[in-house]
Chain A
Amino acid sequence: MRIYLNGQSRQCAAETSVAVLLAETGYAGRRVAVEVNREIVPRSRHAQHTLHEDDHVEIVHAIGGG
């Protein structure tokens, strides 16, 4: 199925969880925050939360700023 990850179209298996997506992109265990369709998915729910066709996923992190 197709999802939008950080604004870019991406293919992933049906019923992919947020945890699996993080593992596939190399961010498992990293200090990131995840939002699906503008709703926060708390870290404790990454494994249960499954993605659906056309979901908009954002993975953000901390960078230098003032």
Chain B
Amino acid sequence: MNAQLQSTATTSIPDPLVIAGRPFRSRLLTGTGKFKDLDETRRATDAAGSEIVTFAVRRMNLGQNPGEPNLLDALPPEHFTLLPNTAGCHSAEEALRTCRLARELLDGHSLVKLEVIGDQKTLFPDVIKTLEAAEVLVKDGFDVMVYTTDDPLLAKRFEEIGCAAVMPLAAPIGSGLGIQNRYTILEIVENAKIPVIVDAGVGTASDAALAMELGCDGVLMNTAIAHAKDPVLMAHAMKCAIEAGRAAFRAGRIPRRRYASASSPIDGMIA
């Protein structure tokens, strides 16, 4: 990690999220898929306060309205950290090709979200291929934020090969089920030296707050916001949840106990 940037981060931004040496104020990372249009995408992104936004790389639809605004006009790279994903890639080679195109698209920007899906029903990652792809991408100079299952040993392995962040799923992509195994997430958090970002499966604000209370460094979500009845309001709710969850984690919660503990003093009663 870049020591100079790290020190800048700690002086100018309170409690920053630092990824690959870059400090961020917001711990909520948002996707840009499934929104009604680019205007809603931008308004929800602003309401979420997210600084890191994911997107996909695809072929142009030739001949179809070349003058239409595209995603990078709505979310300019000058104002947001654009995080290209490798959605749809099934091998290390495809992921590398996609990331190289994204790097060209973003003028050399090297932060990428690696995902290699292994099953269409659950959209669970193929972790063997993900590991292969991560090694190739790291060698090619990319800062790899890797989408993976909530496996503590695997998370450690991604850290060892040089990934910039590990992003375990809470539940299947788009399922809205929330964190299904808080103990594995906790185990990953307690052992990680790189940021842990819960990615996928969040349904509502309390899911995001729980991830942060467990000590996760951030949460990445898309469907929970984009498919809410009011995406912009849900984006705001998620922002509040992330901030509340983070503050609660830093404040240190009380231990759980089975019986009551009176809040008012017992001494000095009048009767």
Contacts and interface: CB of A to CB of B under 8 A. Distances in A.
Interface of A: 5-8, 25-27, 30-35, 38, 40, 42-43, 58-66
Given A40-B104, A58-B59, A63 B66 contact: no
30 contacts: A8-B62, A25-B63, A25-B66, A30-B70, A31-B70, A31-B105, A32-B105, A33-B105, A34-B104, A38-B97, A40-B100, A43-B104, A43-B107, A58-B59, A60-B58, A61-B58, A61-B71, A62-B57, A62-B70, A62-B71, A62-B105, A63-B55, A63-B56, A64-B32, A64-B55, A64-B71, A65-B55, A65-B85, A66-B85, A66-B200
B93 to A, nearest CB: 10
Contacts of B104: 33-34, 40, 42-43
Contacts of A65: 31-33, 54-56, 85, 87, 222
A6 B59 contact: yes
Given A65-B54, A66-B87, A33 B70 contact: no
The residue among A7, A33, A58 with the most chain B CB atoms within 10 A of its own CB is A33
Given A65-B56, A66-B223, A60 B173 contact: no
Measured as residues with beta carbon below 8 angstroms from the partner, the interface class of chain B is 35 or more
Main secondary structure of the interface of B (DSSP, over half): mixed
B70 A5 contact: no
Interface string B37-65: 00001000000000000111111101100
Contact of A63 (B63, B71, B221): B71
B146 to A, nearest CB: 15
Contacts of B220: 66
